[in-house]
Amino acid sequence: MKALHAPAAGVPAPALPGLELPAAPRRDGPPPVVISWGLGRDSSTILALALGDPRTLPMYQSLGYDPATMIVIHAVTGDEWDDTLRDAEHHILPLLREHGVRLVQVARGGPFEADGIEILDDSRSPTRLHKAGPWRLSDELRTSGTVPMLAHGRRTCSVKFKGSVIDRFIAADLQGCSYRHVLGFNADEGERVLRDQTYTSATRAPEYPLITWGYDTADCVALLRERFGVTWKKSYCVQCPFPGNIGGLPGHLERLRAFPERAAEVLMLEHVALSLNPNSRLFGSTTLRSHVVADRNTEALTAFRHAQAAGSWSVYQVRRILWPRGDEHLKGPAWRSVRTLGVAGSHAEATQELRRRAGERGGVIEVDEHRIARVWERHRGETYPTREAFDVVAPAVVLDKARPEFATAWGELEYRAKQPLLPGS
Ligand code: SF4
């Protein structure tokens, strides 16, 4: 474990080339310190250090980590592991109460930006951690039939359910004043620091004290174990597929064994996503289900089967346009339209409905390796743009959705496809 030497002040973010930002409003006194607390090992280590030993407390206060003025903020995704919540509640909340630190727990207010954010708790004597707000990340994934994804190298779920929620709270609370944003990236996470620095604004000065103090993951785990007598688990959503978050697969599977009901929920999320897109495996090239089966996690699989049997099922029409990325051989963005064709009830009834519709059009039901029944109307081609369309039986949890331009774009591509090829074209 690291010795508690006097840490240097935070690492200022480098200026971004070519980015002109308005000057921050003037404010009396030093900028407030806002600590993003994800409940995990790293940010919990910062709190354990800054609010810990009375002998070192003045040292951290001199850096501006003053319990009276600092704000600890936790973005509630709604899908955190129960053991992380338990340890954070049991060991960190007493520290915050003892020092009268302001803890703000905040979550998305709903699926739309207009729903804003909801402050679940704002207190200097917090007694519990909220498991969920009004709209969980898993609600978003379930109703859109997707799994967490990367877009332009960024985890859209994290931006939407953590970064933007925190930014909106800070904008409202600090009203444009400059602040020091303390993040719990450790000495093993240089890449995350580089990524974080691209979000920097005129008012936000990010700091990475664990890096300044030389704490890596092992140091954080050791400090928390020594301080609280527990092996602090990683903090991440139960459905997270990103290796950087979940650590190694064996540890993840062990956690899924410890919480089979949560595992079943994620298996269901993955099943919905696979129904709407056969390529939506949770781990990209492999499914969560294949790992859970190989791990012989029969409790999770049984809970998953029970949830499937108890749930209601619909027939959906799924249409997808895959656009080119510059070149007709490179896949670009995908547009999707999902439309409910009928809520049938049980899986057998929905399958019957699919069969009836297939019969009307002369289609054939195909059942894939995930036991998902579809009637294909068109398979995607080899070059872009291309389209695919099918009807599918899936859990009745997905909301109808298509961007406004979808129908026109689909119609134009259909029209183009029907034009006879002109000689020489
Ligand atoms: S932990 Fe994973 S799933 Fe949850 S918000 Fe972060 S990246 Fe997304």
Q: In the chain, pLDDT over 90 holds for what percent of residues?
A: 79
Q: Which residues sit with their C-beta closer than 6 Å to ligand 1?
A: 77, 137, 148, 155, 157-158, 161-162, 236-237, 239-240, 242, 245
Q: What is the 237 CA–ligand 1 centroid distance (Å)?
A: 5
Task: Give the type of residue at 80.
Answer: E
What is the residue with the minimal CA distance to atom 7 of ligand 1?
158
Ligand 1 pocket test, candidate residues 76, 161, 166, 189, most atoms within 8 A of CB: 161
Residue 270 phi/psi, 5-degree rounding, is -65, -40
Is the pLDDT at 419 greater than 90? The verdict is: no
Mean pLDDT of 239-254: 91
Q: What is the 157 CA–ligand 1 centroid distance (Å)?
A: 6
Residue 176 phi/psi, 5-degree rounding, is 85, 0
Q: Hey, where are the domains in the chain?
A: 33-228, 248-310, 313-418
Q: What is the 241 CA–ligand 1 centroid distance (Å)?
A: 8
Mean pLDDT of 277-304: 97
Alpha carbon separation from 74 to 113, 315, 359 (Å, rounded)? 19, 39, 53
Q: In the chain, pLDDT over 70 holds for what percent of residues?
A: 92
**Residue partners of 191: CB distance under 8 A and separation at least 6:** none
Return d(Cα 87, Cα 286) in angstroms, integer. 31
Mean pLDDT of 221-249: 93
Q: What is the 191 CA–ligand 1 centroid distance (Å)?
A: 17
- Longest Cα–Cα distance in the chain: 86
Task: Give the type of residue at 97.
Answer: R
pLDDT tier for residue 23 given thresholds of 50, 70 and 90: very low
CA angle 62, 63, 66 (to 5 degrees): 70
pLDDT digits (tens, 9 = 90+) for 354-397: 999 999 989 999 999 999 999 999 999 999 999 999 999 999 99
pLDDT tier for residue 342 given thresholds of 50, 70 and 90: confident
Q: What is the 380 CA–ligand 1 centroid distance (Å)?
A: 30
Return d(Cα 413, Cα 386) in angstroms, integer. 8
Three-state DSSP state, 103: strand
pLDDT tier for residue 420 given thresholds of 50, 70 and 90: confident
What does DSSP say about strands 204-207 and 327-345: parallel, antiparallel, or unpaired? unpaired
H-state helical runs in 1-52: 41-50
Q: Which two three-digit tokens encode residue 274?
A: 């696979």
Most confidently predicted of 58-72, 133-147, 180-194: 133-147
Whether the CB-CB separation of 347 and 360 falls below 8 Å is answered with no
pLDDT tier for residue 423 given thresholds of 50, 70 and 90: low
Q: Which atom of ligand 1 is nearest to the CA of 242?
A: 2
Higher per-residue pLDDT: 196 or 9? 196
pLDDT tier for residue 2 given thresholds of 50, 70 and 90: very low
**Residue partners of 175: CB distance under 8 A and separation at least 6:** 25
Is the pLDDT at 408 greater than 90? The verdict is: yes
Whether the CB-CB separation of 276 and 315 falls below 8 Å is answered with no
Is the pLDDT at 7 greater than 50? The verdict is: no
Q: What is the 59 CA–ligand 1 centroid distance (Å)?
A: 34
Ligand 1 pocket test, candidate residues 39, 108, 137, 157, most atoms within 8 A of CB: 157
Is the pLDDT at 10 greater than 90? The verdict is: no
CA angle 48, 51, 52 (to 5 degrees): 65
What is the residue with the minimal CA distance to atom 3 of ligand 1?
240
Three-state DSSP state, 162: helix
Tokens 């979000």, residue located: 199
If one counts every other C-beta atom within 10 angstroms of the C-beta of residue 258, the result is 14
Query: Which CATH fold would you assign to the domain 33-228?
Result: Rossmann fold (3.40.50)
pLDDT tier for residue 27 given thresholds of 50, 70 and 90: low
Residue 93 phi/psi, 5-degree rounding, is -55, -40
pLDDT tier for residue 235 given thresholds of 50, 70 and 90: very high
State residue 64's pLDDT score.
Answer: 86
CA angle 194, 195, 199 (to 5 degrees): 110
Mean pLDDT of 291-300: 98
Mean pLDDT of 285-305: 97
Task: Give the type of residue at 218.
Answer: A
